[in-house]
Amino acid sequence: MLKAISDTEWWDELKGMLSNHSLLELDVSLAKMTTFGVGGKARYYIEPGSVNDLRIAIEGARDRGKPIFFIGRGSNLLVPDEGFNGMIVRLNRKYWRGISSEADGRIYAGGGARLKEICRVACKLGLSGFEFLEGIPGTLGGGLAMNAGAMGSRIFDLIEEVEFIRYDGELKKERRDWFQVGYRECRELENSVVLSAILRADTEEVERTIKEKLEHFARERKKSQPGGRNAGCIFKNPAGEYTGQIIDELGLKGRRVGGAEISNLHGNFIVNRGNATCADVIALIKDVREEVRRNRGIDLRPEVLLLGRDWDEVL
């Protein structure tokens, strides 16, 4: 049964239960933890330093009835201006970012490891097949939750096994076939946190060939994607079409609401021109959806996630 204690007392109690390898803070700005750079604060923020601390944090939030959300690099995330009145957990301590070479062309990576770093290590080891990760600015956990992909490949193609904890506390280890992944989603990882995974390459190639592929992919991205603050593609592609092309054909590039602007380089990117609010981004998303629905009869679905909210409530 819950003791009748205040939220502050609960938080202090939780702090006392975690090791000093964990970081706990109140009222942390989330804008700086996302690539979009918009939005408010998280009331409770934790970077757990071990699996045990992670479990205690999840259990603590659950028992206290606080919503919980895992954030990786925040590269597919829009944070509401009012912030998040729950617990944000980030696997950002060194403990979660390890990457190591295993037998037979396998790579172990922690849930907080950067995809770019995994790509770099694979390249060094002469393992091919990881090159498409080069330009995806997320973490392993975020990449798996989104089934991130590029250049015709997706991250689950590389997966042998994933270790994760469900919010109810169950620790699981599952092989790739167990996951029913879809386009930018993995239902089995909802309400779960990825601790680590074993990735494996299909082929071995000389480092030079891999480097050539990497350079080619990087050039392609540079040509087609804007720099600055953004969250990658805003909308999913409808079957058989490219959202960026549809937006381009409708002449919507450059359209702006407040500080949020549709990129002139890629129609499916919204760029934060420096002072955008979440409300600006949402207004622009609604505007684009309306234009596309009216002119093309297509109902665009956002790829970017809205922290703590369901898009259907907002759109």
Q: How many CA atoms lie within 13 A of 297 on its CB side?
A: 0
Interface positions, 66-95, toward ligand FAD (CB under 6 A): 69-77, 91
Is 143 in contact with 153 (CB distance < 8 Å)? Answer: no
Is 123 in contact with 130 (CB distance < 8 Å)? Answer: yes
Q: Which stretch binds ligand FAD (CB under 6 A): 17-25, 134-142, 211-219, 238-246?
A: 134-142
Question: Does residue number 194 form part of the binding site for ligand FAD (CB under 6 A)?
Answer: yes
Question: Does residue number 300 form part of the binding site for ligand FAD (CB under 6 A)?
Answer: no
Catalytic residue of the set 43, 90, 184, 289: 184
Is 65 in contact with 175 (CB distance < 8 Å)? Answer: no
Decide whether 264 or 295 has the Cβ nearer to ligand FAD.
264
CA dihedral (69, 71, 76, 82) in degrees, to 10, reads: 60
Question: Does residue number 137 form part of the binding site for ligand FAD (CB under 6 A)?
Answer: yes
Question: Does residue number 61 form part of the binding site for ligand FAD (CB under 6 A)?
Answer: no
Decide whether 11 or 164 has the Cβ nearer to ligand FAD.
164
What is the DSSP secondary structure assignment for residue 135, as one 8-state letter? G
Question: Does residue number 142 form part of the binding site for ligand FAD (CB under 6 A)?
Answer: yes
Decide whether 187 or 293 has the Cβ nearer to ligand FAD.
187
Question: Does residue number 145 form part of the binding site for ligand FAD (CB under 6 A)?
Answer: yes
Residues sharing a CB contact under 8 Å with residue 52, sequence separation 6 or more, in sequence order: 19
Q: Enter the tokens of residue 248.
A: 């381009």
Nearest to 206 by CA among 123, 132, 135, 133: 123
Distance CA 306, CA 122 (A): 32
Interface pick for ligand FAD out of 14, 107, 109, 189 (rule CB under 6 A): 189
Is 186 among the catalytic positions?
A: no
Question: Does residue number 38 form part of the binding site for ligand FAD (CB under 6 A)?
Answer: no
Catalytic residue of the set 233, 261, 278, 289: 233
Sign of dihedral through CA atoms 142, 134, 271, 291?
negative
Decide whether 60 or 137 has the Cβ nearer to ligand FAD.
137
* E-strand stretches of 72-228: 77-78, 84-90, 99-102, 106-110, 127-128, 149-150, 153-154, 159-166, 171-175, 181-182, 185-186, 192-200, 203-204
Nearest to 247 by CA among 195, 298, 184, 173: 298
Is 184 among the catalytic positions?
A: yes
Q: Tell me the number of residues near ligand FAD by CB under 6 A.
A: 34
Question: Does residue number 129 form part of the binding site for ligand FAD (CB under 6 A)?
Answer: no
Question: Does residue number 179 form part of the binding site for ligand FAD (CB under 6 A)?
Answer: no
Question: Does residue number 136 form part of the binding site for ligand FAD (CB under 6 A)?
Answer: yes
Question: Does residue number 259 form part of the binding site for ligand FAD (CB under 6 A)?
Answer: no
Interface pick for ligand FAD out of 105, 232, 244, 259 (rule CB under 6 A): 232
Is 233 among the catalytic positions?
A: yes
Distance CA 306, CA 282 (A): 10
Question: Does residue number 143 form part of the binding site for ligand FAD (CB under 6 A)?
Answer: yes
Catalytic residue list: 184, 233, 303
Footprint of ligand FAD on this chain (CB under 6 A)?
35, 69-77, 91, 111, 135-139, 141-143, 145-146, 148-150, 189, 192-194, 225, 230-232, 305
